[in-house]
Amino acid sequence: MKKYLKKITAATNFLQMQMNFMPETAIVLGSGLGALTEAMTDVQRISFADVPHFPVSTVAGHESELIIGRLDYVPLLVMRGRAHYYEGYSMKKITFPIRIMKQLGIQNLFLTNACGGINTNFKTGDLVLINDHINLLPDNPLIGKNSKMLGPRFPDMAAAYDKTLRQIAKKTAENLEILHQMGVYAAVSGPCYETPAEVQLLRTLGADVVGMSTVPEVIVAIHSGMKVLCISCVTDMPASNPEEMLTHEEVVATAAKAAPKLVKWLKEIVAATPLQAELFE
């Protein structure tokens, strides 16, 4: 644990030396959803590879860079891409950036991802506001010795997806006339896409969407005392047509098509969060 804490300190110190200002909100962008950064100003770009001990994504659609800037004058820290468990990284490694965000003063964490639609009422291109999750991953980032400096031994996940942030998201979606779904995210290890039997199992368990990321980040964010909001983009309906082979390129392309709507929504949520948070609490 001492070595891990030293790594956190080294990465935090490096970024503090690089950053011109310290945002309170961070966004993690999933596959094909990097368009948000094009709307930012006063931008600083830092490669994951330059940050001590940071994991670098090996997946297409994940650019592996930190972007510090402003979105409509609101300071933001954006992770353009993320590392995944299926890439061979440990859970502690893929959630390392979330630990650094906490040390940098991030209070609100907005997560996005590309996902498969399990709920038969969903369709490709839908945006889904996540209100809960089912963790089917074979490991947990909190396994091992716990440091009280990072968070409690047994964090409560009953309200992992912040109610106030979800209310703000719903209100801004209504104002923008953005139709969206609500649902439960099931996390699996991947990298295989699901079989028909697995889709049926997930549906039986109560999952609305399925993906290969996000939940470890949520766990560490809650352990760290951060507030979490998550929006998923349905890029495919897994195993809906066994005759057609699903590819990652198709997933990224579908996410890119939905990105403008997601960017519009996120901009309003970011702008509204500091203004409306007290109204909903």
Verify cis geometry, omega within 30 degrees of 0, for the bond prior to 23. no
- Residues 31 and 33: their CA atoms lie apart, in Å, by 6
The Cα-based distances of 259 to 114, 126, 265, 267 in angstroms read 10, 11, 10, 12
- Residues 262 and 173: their CA atoms lie apart, in Å, by 10
Domains of the chain: 2-280 (3.40.50.1580)
Sequence-distant (6+) residues with CB within 8 A of 91 are: 85, 137, 139, 140, 141, 143, 216
256 or 9: which carries more pLDDT confidence? 9
pLDDT digits over 139-161, tens only? 999 999 999 999 999 999 999 99
pLDDT at 67: 94
pLDDT at 277: 46
Question: What is this structure's pTM?
Answer: 0.93
- Residues 122 and 100: their CA atoms lie apart, in Å, by 35
- pLDDT (average), residues 251-278: 80
53 CB burial (10 A radius; 0-12, 13-18, 19+): middle
Query: What DSSP designation does 59 have?
Result: S
- pLDDT (average), residues 98-114: 96
The Cα-based distances of 101 to 25, 204, 248 in angstroms read 9, 36, 29
- pLDDT (average), residues 56-75: 82
Other C-beta atoms within 10 Å of 87: how many?
18
Q: Of 147, 124, 143, 155, give the one whose Cα is nearest residue 228.
A: 155
